[in-house]
Amino acid sequence: MITSTLKLMISLNRNRRRLWKSSDGSFTVEASFVLPIVLLVTAMLLFLCLYVYQKSFLVQASSAASERTAFIWDNSKKDAHTGRMAEGNYDPLYWRLTDDRLLASLFSLGSESSSPTITIPNTASDSDLPFVKMTKGAESVPDGMEGEMKYDNKVLLRKVSTTLSWPASIAPLEKVISGGADLEVSSHSFIADPVEFIRTVELMRYYGSKFKRADGNRTDAGTASEVLQRYGGR
């Protein structure tokens, strides 16, 4: 009895040593450790791709809204997508002085009057030209995005800024990537007004020629004042 028990224990020890030295089943054991890591990395890459997609989509929508609004700024009757307008439809002659907030910017008449702002999506109706133009430009923003559009007139530098956010964001990934900040982008587009630029250059050239003396040299302040009074009375 004792002998048989001893033989059994020796046999078990030999089998145990053989199992420890054997490589059978090692792939299954290693895979059980590696597979969760692979799945976690794959899930993180998928979330990252979704985050990049949302970010790029917001940037594209924000840039398009700013550019289209700046494009139609010289005439609120233009179509924001194509630039077409009916013949003879123009804004008031002196809209750049009043409706464009030029005087408010020159004399600092308050931030609210000098920087018109609309919310996106915009449901309010306003007859002021800056709000009309920004509303038409903001129509291109896809549904589901929120934000605001602002117009700044710095006399020589005019721009339209658009800030958009996407409420349906990936919160866990945002906390890892951006420290918990909201998924928000901002873009701006500068306004080019070729007609006004040409008109200003021609005006400077016209009065510059009037300020010159017969010999081609610059005139003095007294003569310039006389020229302004003479041609200003016409």
Q: The pTM is what?
A: 0.66
* Tens of pLDDT, residues 216-227: 565 555 665 665
Name the least confident of 31-45, 82-96, 168-182, 185-199. 168-182
Q: How far apart are the first and last CA of the chain?
A: 136
Q: Distance between CA 121 and CA 129 in Å, rounded?
A: 18
Cα–Cα distances (Å) from 6 to 1, 9, 10, 13, in that order, read: 9, 5, 6, 11
User: What SS3 state is found at 22?
Assistant: coil
Residue 81: helix, strand or coil by DSSP?
Answer: coil
Sketch the domain layout of the chain as residue ranges: 39-192, 200-232
The pLDDT tens digits of the residues spanning 24-51 come to: 666 677 778 888 899 989 988 888 888 8
